[in-house]
Amino acid sequence: MLRIFFSLIILFSNFNFAIAEDFKLNKILEGLNSPWSLSFVSQNEVLITEKPGNIIYLNIENKKQKKIKHNLKVLEHGQGGLLDVLYHNKKVFISYSEKRKDFESSTSIARGKYSDNKINFKNIFRAEPPIESRYHFGSRLVIQDNYLFASVGERGQGMIAQDPTKHPGSIIRIHLDGSIPKDNPKFKGKNDWLPEIFQIGVRNPQGLTLSPFDKKIYMSNHGAKGGDWFGQVKFGENYGWKILGWGGKNYSGTEIGPKWKPGFTKAIYYWVPSIATSAIAIYKGEEFKEWNGHALVTSLKDQSLRKLIFKNVNEVKEDIIFKDKIGRIRDIQIQNNTGKIFMLTDNGSLWKMEKK
């Protein structure tokens, strides 16, 4: 009896590590080449980016697909390539590693008028300075009203994220036409900051999303050896990289710094060891209406989809929805009007998640 009692304790103590599987996963498409992002154009039409430089139009109902021609100078190397895509009001916004000189590149953002045949893009932002590095580009896009927010990785340069005179390692905010908002931190007391910078001190933020509930912007960020986190984008603040280690260490095993200390933005939730956080979404929909307002966090390392209940940031609850089922999850989007969940994986597949 005592053995059974302790077995039940172990079972229920781990209950939050998985939830009942009342969902099904359907593969919509396979054979994509290192897909990175998707964006809905209409209820059944999406745009997908492939890291080598392709923009794919796909009708998810009849599976019709084709490549959209474009004029971007994409440098695919390491973690760089054609990255996030965002359709908005007949315009397409895209982030990519732009070839600048030899092997120097920057996290750049371009905008073009939507067409399913060819899009002529024009840059509206370039992270300065360009850097010769294969790592840490970011890079997600979010639109809030007339503002475009973007995450810019620190390119593996560490303390550059503490230098507000350089873009790498920051969250930037510009208008949709690329002009600079006059209420950015630069003009509100942060005199030495570049005018596009909204927040500093991030490492490799590959998740960025606007909550349809509280209208706040949330993000996920890769730590080093440990120290991934989920947090909020905040005006003029500093997440502390590489003064802070967020609970992680350098890959060599040496210490970085404390998990957090006063004067820096505190994340809502940390993962130590790392799960390699990727894209995120705040769920809103009817398909899984019990999840409304919860954060969905994708993972590359353990190939999981996780759910965070963070209404009370002092008592965040995490559930692992599934693990090791579809591969390394690169992007996640919620279909409007239905609440069905669509996910891209590194192995070249597009999946739909819905109720059984």
CATH number at residue 114: 2.120.10.30
Q: Are strands 54-59 and 104-113 parallel, antiparallel or unpaired?
A: unpaired
Tokens of 319: 């559930």
Q: Following DSSP, what letter does each residue of 295-343 receive, concatenated?
A: EEEEESSS-EEEEEE-SSTTS-EEEEEEESSS-SEEEEEEPTTT--EEE
- In this structure, is residue 256 part of a structural domain? yes
Rounded Cα–Cα distance for residues 100 and 210 (Å): 31
The dihedrals phi and psi of 332, each to the nearest 5 degrees, come to -145, 135
For the chain, what is the largest distance between any 2 Cα atoms, rounded to a whole number of angstroms? 71
Rounded Cα–Cα distance for residues 141 and 36 (Å): 13
- In this structure, is residue 13 part of a structural domain? no
pLDDT band at 21 (very low <50, low <70, confident <90, very high): confident
Q: Are strands 197-200 and 329-334 parallel, antiparallel or unpaired?
A: unpaired
Q: Are strands 91-101 and 65-70 parallel, antiparallel or unpaired?
A: unpaired
Rounded Cα–Cα distance for residues 169 and 136 (Å): 9
The three-state secondary structure class of 271 is strand
- In this structure, is residue 114 part of a structural domain? yes
- Which run of H or of E encompasses 12? helix 2-13
Closest C-alpha to 177, from 89, 96, 118, 99:
89
What average pLDDT does the segment 235-247 reach? Answer: 97
Q: What is the pLDDT of residue 2?
A: 46
Rounded Cα–Cα distance for residues 216 and 173 (Å): 14
> In terms of pTM, does the model score above 0.75?
yes
- In this structure, is residue 281 part of a structural domain? yes
- In this structure, is residue 8 part of a structural domain? no
The dihedrals phi and psi of 344, each to the nearest 5 degrees, come to -105, 145
- In this structure, is residue 5 part of a structural domain? no
Rounded Cα–Cα distance for residues 220 and 208 (Å): 7
pLDDT of 19 over the 90 cut: no
- In this structure, is residue 71 part of a structural domain? yes
Domain that holds residue 296: 19-355
pLDDT band at 7 (very low <50, low <70, confident <90, very high): very low
- In this structure, is residue 274 part of a structural domain? yes
Rounded Cα–Cα distance for residues 353 and 339 (Å): 9
List, for residues 145-196, the tens digit of each pLDDT value: 999 999 999 999 999 999 999 999 999 999 999 999 999 999 999 999 999 9
Q: What is the pLDDT of residue 16?
A: 52
Q: How many domains does the chain have?
A: 1
Q: Following DSSP, what letter does each residue of 200-251 receive, concatenated?
A: E--SEEEEEEE-TTT--EEEEEE-BBB-EEEEE--TT-B--TTT--TT-B-T
